A and B are shown apart, each in its own frame.
Chain A
């Protein structure tokens, strides 16, 4: 027998070990670990885990400590609101299984973060939380009913026997609340104590435990040291309300996780690949290679970045660009992995797969942002420790003083002090608020590379823009038409020129075609010839040769003309220019509105451009920006930003993430428009996935709102604690009132934090 039981024990232990050892299999690791070369050539791994069993922000610190205690761990970051752990470790010195084991030893659970297991874990977590909440709620209702007679009856109405029976029934129904529903508080308190720290669960569980023990004493030994008062109703209600607050917080956290995951979980498992012989085969997405041709059905997600070959459809790219309108796609257009094919089946060619796609870049960026613990949260946590010590000291002091004044009340006053204090604004509210704000921005296509950027962003009073690709798009538009010959009709000339320009793909030609729009293009051109660097030449119906192109080529008289600027398109017979079309860079659609709105909010604006000073100045004038620096090298831009900062301004730089890296790093907050798959490579704090400049404005407003919500929560916490703790100390707050106060205060804080999960509507936009 003994041998058999030892054997089964081994088998069980072996099964657990197998489970852990599977984590070290390189194939399994690939789903949650990335390997990279550190400085010095050593290989290092970055793994992502989902942590379970976390109930407050302090837990994050405990798990970090546990992970950092493992030899070979270079860095461990745990984010409380998302329950994600990001660990950088040295594959030579430790293994993935050792990391999971360390987390388990600290009293928590950890599973590799692959989306499917995360979803299952969320479901289990949600069920468990609901289950605890329900048990607490139902028992609370019944205990209240048993308690009511004691409150309403006149002395002598109830026989002592009946009173005892009611108390016993209450005690019996409080047991599941204490042992099961309140479990998270006790385990949280125990875990933090074991690590030598004080979490917010400690006073809570102390209050619960003392209330239960004292009430039990009063129930079974009414003449004993605990008196005859029972508080089972207060106890169950306190636990129920507290669990209710946590339930709301959990739901909100899951919602953010779900919306962020939606973008990542969308890739299909298998795709229909075209074989060289024309047939199709169903293959796993991992087996695709660049260059493959893939058929994508309507309603399916595109499996890779690529190009559309056949068919027309609409694509929903909302998760990848924040663009809520479906985008029309025709052959030759780029397709983004993870976006949804809405209308018709199409054939696409695969260009980039897996880690190289824009989607993978976005996912990596979101993950790293979500595992950060910003300075703001760290500060709040630092305050939470001393605050909790003060609470314990006050409770002990109150018990001591009251035992001199009125020993029968000493215990209840101490319990009231323990449970009335509400540290949640310090430990819970800041991370929840930041997470909700980040999630809301991400849904609009504004990704924060550093969550701390929100803090800097709120205080920005100057925005410097790069020109090309930021304020303007890389395309031209017609600024004005100048008629050179006498009696010419500008519209007719534009129509004829556009008819000719339609035959070319040069950006200047496209600008003319776009400007002419649907205007009559009766002219028909024959024998069209394109001379690179000069322009187009063609024969008109009357047999004359016309030219459209550089001024000196069309008409030598205009070579040094002051009337026609260099770079304008001239149109006319050779040597007899009829019209000049002055082209300019096309502004982003919302550039003017955004600039105006920023100025209205009191933000100073500047333009820093590497382009020719005259062109930069012209553009600045169109936008009404007075501070302009054209022809600036990266060093000049850096110097300009540094000079503004020296004047005490806090500068945000909006630029091109790849070429403006130094100045972006120098600015207090940096924005960059995402270019294709290089999303995560740009060094900017904020990456704009959409093509809207207004996102800068939206991000700044959201940052201000977020900080004001955090400040409101802190102010509320200070006010509430300052008002209620003295009341509890002087004995005016019975335990039930303390329970209601604490529970509703934490509910208020959580609900206030969740307000920023919705972006404030931007004026002038739908």
Chain B
């Protein structure tokens, strides 16, 4: 049971670490617009075509 005397302070440190990671994610804009990211795949932009060369399955290559 003595191990708890280390584990409990450790869990406090862990919580602060998690909060720190969340802060980073939040401030880099990851939560700004949750709907838009889901719809991005439906948007019509021509940057997402086939890669210019290689890495294309032979039956998909034109």
Within 8 A of A (CB), among B18-33: 18-19, 22-23, 26-27, 31-32
Known: A127-B31, A130-B26. A176 touches B19 (CB 8 A): yes
Residue contact B5 to A165, C-beta cutoff 8 Å: yes
B15 interfacial by beta-carbon distance below 8 Å: yes
B8 interfacial by beta-carbon distance below 8 Å: yes
Residue contact B12 to A172, C-beta cutoff 8 Å: yes
A198 interfacial by beta-carbon distance below 8 Å: no
What 0/1 readout, one digit per residue, does chain A (147-187) give for beta carbons within 8 Å of chain B? 00000000000000010011001001100100000000000
Report the bound CA distance from A142 to B31 in whole Å: 23
Residue contact B19 to A138, C-beta cutoff 8 Å: yes
Chain B nearest Cβ from A326, distance in angstroms? 18
Residue contact B23 to A131, C-beta cutoff 8 Å: yes
Give the number of chain B interface residues (Cβ < 8 Å).
16
Within 8 A of A (CB), among B24-60: 26-27, 31-32
Residues of B within 8 A of A166 (CB): 8
Report the bound CA distance from A127 to B26 in whole Å: 7
What 0/1 readout, one digit per residue, does chain A (304-334) give for beta carbons within 8 Å of chain B? 0000000000000000000000000000000
Nearest residue in A to B27 (C-beta to C-beta)? A127
B61 interfacial by beta-carbon distance below 8 Å: no
B11 interfacial by beta-carbon distance below 8 Å: yes
**Pick from B18, B22, B32: contact of A126, CB under 8 Å:** B32
Residues of A within 8 A of B32 (CB): 123, 126-127
Residues of B within 8 A of A169 (CB): 8-9, 11-12
Nearest residue in B to A143 (C-beta to C-beta)? B15
Chain A nearest Cβ from B20, distance in angstroms? 11
Residue contact B8 to A165, C-beta cutoff 8 Å: yes
Known: A123-B32, A130-B26. A162 touches B15 (CB 8 A): no
Residue contact B12 to A134, C-beta cutoff 8 Å: no
A83 interfacial by beta-carbon distance below 8 Å: no
Residue contact A142 to B15, C-beta cutoff 8 Å: yes
Residue contact B8 to A146, C-beta cutoff 8 Å: yes
Residues of A within 8 A of B18 (CB): 138
Report the bound CA distance from A146 to B15 in whole Å: 13
Nearest residue in B to A135 (C-beta to C-beta)? B19
Report the bound CA distance from A162 to B4 in whole Å: 8
A139 interfacial by beta-carbon distance below 8 Å: yes
Report the bound CA distance from A525 to B15 in whole Å: 90
What 0/1 readout, one digit per residue, does chain A (398-434) give for beta carbons within 8 Å of chain B? 0000000000000000000000000000000000000
Residues of B within 8 A of A138 (CB): 15, 18-19, 22
Known: A126-B32, A162-B4. A173 touches B27 (CB 8 A): no
Residue contact A173 to B26, C-beta cutoff 8 Å: no
Residue contact A134 to B19, C-beta cutoff 8 Å: yes
Report the bound CA distance from A162 to B27 in whole Å: 37
Interface class of chain B by DSSP? helix
**Pick from A134, A146, A162: contact of B26, CB under 8 Å:** A134
Residues of A within 8 A of B27 (CB): 127
Residue contact B11 to A142, C-beta cutoff 8 Å: yes
Report the bound CA distance from A215 to B4 in whole Å: 23
Report the bound CA distance from A138 to B17 in whole Å: 11
Report the bound CA distance from A166 to B4 in whole Å: 10
Chain A nearest Cβ from B3, distance in angstroms? 12
Residue contact B31 to A130, C-beta cutoff 8 Å: yes
Residue contact A139 to B23, C-beta cutoff 8 Å: no
Nearest residue in B to A161 (C-beta to C-beta)? B5
Report the bound CA distance from A169 to B6 in whole Å: 12
Within 8 A of B (CB), among A91-136: 123, 126-127, 130-131, 134-135
Chain A nearest Cβ from B44, distance in angstroms? 10
Report the bound CA distance from A699 to B11 in whole Å: 56
Residues of B within 8 A of A173 (CB): 12, 15
Report the bound CA distance from A176 to B5 in whole Å: 22
Residue contact A131 to B12, C-beta cutoff 8 Å: no
Residues of A within 8 A of B12 (CB): 142, 169, 172-173
Residue contact B15 to A131, C-beta cutoff 8 Å: no
Residues of A within 8 A of B26 (CB): 127, 130-131, 134
Report the bound CA distance from A176 to B20 in whole Å: 12
Report the bound CA distance from A138 to B19 in whole Å: 8
Residues of A within 8 A of B9 (CB): 169
Nearest residue in A to B18 (C-beta to C-beta)? A138
Nearest residue in B to A170 (C-beta to C-beta)? B12
Residues of B within 8 A of A176 (CB): 19
Report the bound CA distance from A138 to B22 in whole Å: 10
Residues of A within 8 A of B22 (CB): 131, 134, 138
Report the bound CA distance from A609 to B8 in whole Å: 82
Chain A nearest Cβ from B41, distance in angstroms? 19
Chain A nearest Cβ from B1, distance in angstroms? 8
Report the bound CA distance from A409 to B48 in whole Å: 66
Residues of B within 8 A of A142 (CB): 11-12, 15
Report the bound CA distance from A138 to B25 in whole Å: 15
Residues of B within 8 A of A146 (CB): 8
Report the bound CA distance from A165 to B3 in whole Å: 13
Chain B nearest Cβ from A753, distance in angstroms? 22
Chain B nearest Cβ from A349, distance in angstroms? 30
Nearest residue in A to B11 (C-beta to C-beta)? A142
Report the bound CA distance from A131 to B5 in whole Å: 30
Report the bound CA distance from A142 to B18 in whole Å: 12
Nearest residue in B to A166 (C-beta to C-beta)? B8
Chain A nearest Cβ from B45, distance in angstroms? 12
Report the bound CA distance from A135 to B20 in whole Å: 10
Report the bound CA distance from A669 to B57 in whole Å: 68
Report the bound CA distance from A387 to B48 in whole Å: 59
Known: A127-B26, A134-B22, A169-B9. A139 touches B31 (CB 8 A): no
Residues of A within 8 A of B31 (CB): 127, 130
Residues of B within 8 A of A127 (CB): 26-27, 31-32
Report the bound CA distance from A203 to B1 in whole Å: 42
Report the bound CA distance from A427 to B26 in whole Å: 31
Residues of B within 8 A of A134 (CB): 19, 22, 26
Residues of A within 8 A of B4 (CB): 162, 165
Chain A nearest Cβ from B43, distance in angstroms? 12
Chain A nearest Cβ from B19, distance in angstroms? 6
Chain A nearest Cβ from B15, distance in angstroms? 5
Chain A nearest Cβ from B34, distance in angstroms? 11
Chain B nearest Cβ from A319, distance in angstroms? 19
Report the bound CA distance from A131 to B4 in whole Å: 30
Nearest residue in B to A180 (C-beta to C-beta)? B19
Report the bound CA distance from A131 to B22 in whole Å: 8
Residues of A within 8 A of B23 (CB): 131
Within 8 A of B (CB), among A499-555: none
Report the bound CA distance from A30 to B6 in whole Å: 63
Would you list the 4 A-B pairs with minimal beta carbon distance, nearest first? A142-B15, A169-B12, A169-B8, A134-B22
13 cross-chain CB contacts under 8 A: A127-B32, A138-B15, A138-B18, A138-B22, A142-B12, A165-B4, A165-B5, A169-B8, A169-B9, A169-B11, A173-B12, A173-B15, A176-B19
A sample of 14 more A-B contacts (CB under 8 A), given A134-B26, A142-B12, is A123-B32, A127-B31, A127-B32, A130-B26, A131-B22, A131-B26, A134-B19, A135-B19, A138-B19, A139-B15, A162-B4, A165-B4, A169-B11, A173-B15
